[in-house]
Copies of this chain bind each other. A is one copy, B any other.
Amino acid sequence: MFKKVVIAGVGLIGGSLGLALTRKKLAREVVGVDPDLENLKLAVCMGAVGRAGTLSEELPTADLLILATPIGVTLGVLEMARPYLAPGTIVTDVGSVKGRLVERAEAMLPSRVYFVGGHPMAGRELAGVAGAREDLFTGAAYVLTPTASTNPAALHVLRQLVQALGAIPLELSCRQHDRAVALISHLPHLLAATLVNTAAGEADCELLLKLAAGGFRDTTRIAAGNPAMWRDILLTNRDMVLQAVKNFRQQLTTVEQAIRAFEREELVQKLAAAREIRQNLPENRKHVLAELHENEG
């Protein structure tokens, strides 16, 4: 499918892409570029990339560059990569926020280098290449965000790549994507962290944490994510996140008022609506274990 793929940033996502590209034989060569040389060595050792390299040496003969760097540095890495990109090269990223990044990337690149924004909706708590898995994307949604200036052939190639990875390609506008992740990813993270901090703010915090059963653990699991990464995500998607928080607050006020006024019918309807939607969430293979999980009563 590709002659040479360069992966800039060989962490959990970059490493998993490398593993999948290699094992599924989607590229003749997969080269990793990473400022953390220890991490890069581990990536080579694990077979996540075939070898380590540099942007200046590798890009002139690459046909795909995947930017799998932390969102705060992606545009900086692209800036460094730009002089070495050969005409015809496709560039994609894996960032959790698309809007400004896609706009800037398109503006920055020469006309015969083709940028298409991407976001695989998969991950694990185990950060870094050590957590990389060939099947991380199997069954996961993989968003592509073409714009009016996207090259149709490049988009087609990436769509095929996503399918070859076993993921489900979804094409959204940057705005649709950013609004969606604000609600289903960034807001949940913010709520989980805030819930932990609320418990921590209590005088008997130690007792609370000792008592915490399955429900608290499930609800706050994502609060264990990397703080700097999440700060950058939240700030990069600031407007959409603030809108999502606002919508959440309005919903919270409704149930709060139902509790205050002992509105039994109103309250049970809200809870029943949430249950029905939650129960109907399509489960993919990754969540089968989770379904067996306990939850305190």
Contacts and interface: CB of A to CB of B under 8 A. Distances in A.
Given A218-B222, A278-B221, A286-B214, A231 B185 contact: no
Nearest to A215: B222
A176 interface: yes
Mostly helix, strand, loop or mixed at chain A's interface?
helix
Contacts of A222: 214-215, 218-219, 295
B195 A272 contact: no
Copies in the complex: 2
A33 B170 CA distance: 53
Contacts of A121: 211, 213, 296
A255 interface: yes
B219 A191 contact: yes
A259 interface: yes
Interface stretch (A148-156, A157-165, A238-246): A238-246
Interface residues of A, number: 107
A184 B200 contact: no
A93 to B, nearest CB: 13
A104 interface: no
Given A121-B296, A222-B295, A143 B211 contact: yes
B184 A268 contact: no
5 contacts: A192-B278, A209-B281, A214-B222, A223-B274, A235-B259
